[in-house]
Amino acid sequence: MSQHEIIIVGGGISGLSLAHYCVKAGLQPLVMDKDDRMGGTFNTCRRDSFWFELGAHTCYNSYGNLVDLLRETGSLDQITKPGSAGYKLFTENGIKSITSQLSIPEMIVSLPRMFATKMAGETVESYYSKVFGKRNFRSAIGPMFNAVICQKSNDFPADMLFKKRLRRKEVIRKFSLQGGLQSITDAIAADPAIETVAGMEVQEIEFAANVFTLTTTDGSCYEAKYLALATPSASAANLLQKPFPEIAKKLAALQAEKVETLGVVVRKEEVKIGPIAALAAQNDIFYSFVSRDTFPDPCYRAFAFHFKTDAGSREARLDRIAQVLGTRTFEHTTSAKHVIPSLRLGHKQTIAEIDGLLAGTPLLLTGNYFTGIAIEDCVSRSLQESRRVAR
């Protein structure tokens, strides 16, 4: 049985940033992930020097804790600025500009309501329908937000979708990293003080005499004084059922959406649509695609299509991609699965209750289902949880 000070289950940005903060606190963490690579939603598909993102793609200088993390892991000088390419809407009449789908008179009537309407207690649909008008929300604003969070955004709490954060003026406003965003998680995982094990799914957790015992699907056992779960909420709920049933019950009540991403690399001359950063679908089997056009390559273009779970077979999805791009000649195809929280009104209260139950225990919880799904929300939650462990 291998023994550790702290084991972190889940090697996405939440788990790895927590590992980094644990090292700063003087601990030697072990991070385990069921996938055969670390990074979770930081998933850069690399083919020689060409890369494109299957998951997270953009960071902002308002991500202050992330900026500090990049500095501390030596990644800050790899920041790179995306070129300009527009965001568009995919309608039943093909690709259209966002403004073409907006009613300007409705906008002029609605926008002043922004000053009288508070976000707190409102859903995305109720708040933005007031501010932009119902028709505008349906035809353009809603689909754009669906694309941002890869799910129908209507019932999401308005104040948890976008947040005002201080900008770090020393860093460019919007950025990726040379080699893609997975370079961030790669750099954290490369710290020799952090031990990582990929391809290892934790199946069961016991907690007795102040020691956690973890059993993995291959039957291996690990012991730790502290345990952190940095997995989607449903996985955390399953694992905590026996040792922390009250916390497990609250976690099990949280909702999430499964998203299947299909990425294609295409020769430039084959693609029939012009340069485009991202496309949001008004009503289709996919929510959106994100392209690599903001980092143009002389030979190739790449597109990551984020599909709804009921989008049909892989063949049906490839057919839809072919229709959108105007070609079925793909140089390379690849796929990824993501789980993304579907937050609802009252979520902050549930999190406060979970935090109340965690207080005083050697169990840490982090992830994208606490304060929001943005990368900065994950890193900030991990920083906050790391303060509960100290040598």
Ligand X SMILES: Cc1cc2nc3c(=O)[nH]c(=O)nc-3n(C[C@H](O)[C@H](O)[C@H](O)COP(=O)(O)OP(=O)(O)OC[C@H]3O[C@@H](n4cnc5c(N)ncnc54)[C@H](O)[C@@H]3O)c2cc1C
CA–CA dist 372, 328 (Å, integer): 37
Residue that the structure tokens 């009104």 belong to: 345
CB 62 within 8 A of CB 168: yes
Per CB under 6 A, does 338 bind ligand X?
yes
The only residue of 129, 153, 231, 233 in contact with ligand X, by rule CB under 6 A? 231
The only residue of 6, 22, 27, 32 in contact with ligand X, by rule CB under 6 A? 32
CB 208 within 8 A of CB 196: no
CA–CA dist 277, 89 (Å, integer): 11
Per CB under 6 A, does 159 bind ligand X?
no
Q: Would you call 310 helix, strand, or coil by DSSP?
A: coil
313 exposure class (CB count in 10 Å sphere: 0-12, 13-18, 19+): exposed
Who contacts 113 (Cβ-Cβ below 8 Å, separation ≥6)? 130, 131
User: Could you tell me which stretch among 37-45, 70-78, 263-271, 344-352 binds ligand X (CB under 6 A)?
Assistant: 37-45
The phi, psi pair for 348, rounded to 5°, reads -60, -35
Residue with smaller CB distance to ligand X, 12 or 142: 12
CB of 31 to ligand X, least distance (A): 9
User: Could you tell me which stretch among 71-79, 133-141, 167-175, 366-374 binds ligand X (CB under 6 A)?
Assistant: 366-374
Interface mask (CB under 6 A) for ligand X, residues 234-253, using x and -? -x------------------
User: Could you tell me which stretch among 76-84, 102-110, 135-143, 365-373 binds ligand X (CB under 6 A)?
Assistant: 365-373
Q: How many residues bind ligand X (CB under 6 A)?
A: 37
Residue with smaller CB distance to ligand X, 12 or 157: 12
Q: Which tokens belong to 75?
A: 């990644």
The phi, psi pair for 305, rounded to 5°, reads -90, 125
Residue with smaller CB distance to ligand X, 201 or 246: 201
Per CB under 6 A, does 44 bind ligand X?
no
Per CB under 6 A, does 62 bind ligand X?
no
- Cα–Cα separations (whole angstroms), residue 100 to 108, 232, 256, 278, 288: 15, 38, 32, 16, 18
Beta-carbon count within 10 A of 81 CB: 12
CB of 234 to ligand X, least distance (A): 9
CB 302 within 8 A of CB 265: yes
The only residue of 45, 230, 251, 254 in contact with ligand X, by rule CB under 6 A? 230
CB of 133 to ligand X, least distance (A): 27
Pick out residues in 171-210 that bind ligand X (CB under 6 A).
201-202
CB 367 within 8 A of CB 13: no
The only residue of 11, 142, 143, 180 in contact with ligand X, by rule CB under 6 A? 11
How large is the greatest C-alpha to C-alpha distance in the chain, in angstroms? 68
Residue with smaller CB distance to ligand X, 34 or 134: 34
Summarize as ranges the residues that interact with ligand X (CB under 6 A).
9-15, 32-35, 40-42, 55-58, 150, 201-202, 230-232, 235, 259, 261, 306, 338-340, 367-368, 373-375, 378
